[in-house]
């Protein structure tokens, strides 16, 4: 692992990795797979919840006529960017036909 990769790894990432190692050593690969699957489901639920909240925010901004307010929209975009950087809000993938 390079210095940059190690530096970018957060405390939570290290904790998760250690927990997976612990579960693997106690319960074997099946336990480790169960924890990974559970983590993926929780991340998916969190992502969906945040996406729905952002959709709700859009509807509120629309009904309060704040879509044209530059400061409000800039703040909303900043929050969205931060959520994406944290991995809590996934960018929409364009569907190809």
Show me where the domains of the chain are located.
Answer: 22-85
pLDDT attached to residue 3: 54
Cα–chain center distance at 73: 21
Query: According to the per-residue pLDDT averaged within each range, which of 2-11, 60-69, 87-96 is highest?
Result: 60-69
Rounded average pLDDT over 70-85:
92
Rounded distance between C-alpha atoms, residue 9 and residue 15, angstroms: 10
C-beta atoms surrounding 50 within 10 Å:
16
Q: pLDDT at residue 4 above 60?
A: no
Rounded average pLDDT over 75-79:
94
Q: pLDDT at residue 30 above 60?
A: yes
């Amino acid at each position: 692992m390079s210095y940059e990769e190690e530096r970018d790894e957060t405390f939570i990432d290290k904790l998760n990795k250690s927990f997976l190692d612990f579960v693997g050593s106690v319960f074997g690969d099946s336990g480790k797979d169960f924890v990974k699957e559970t983590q993926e489901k929780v991340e998916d639920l969190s992502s969906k919840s945040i996406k729905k909240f952002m959709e709700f925010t859009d509807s509120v901004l629309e009904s309060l006529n704040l879509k044209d307010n530059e400061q409000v929209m800039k703040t909303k975009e900043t929050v969205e960017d931060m959520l994406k950087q944290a991995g809590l809000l996934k960018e929409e993938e364009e569907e190809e036909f």
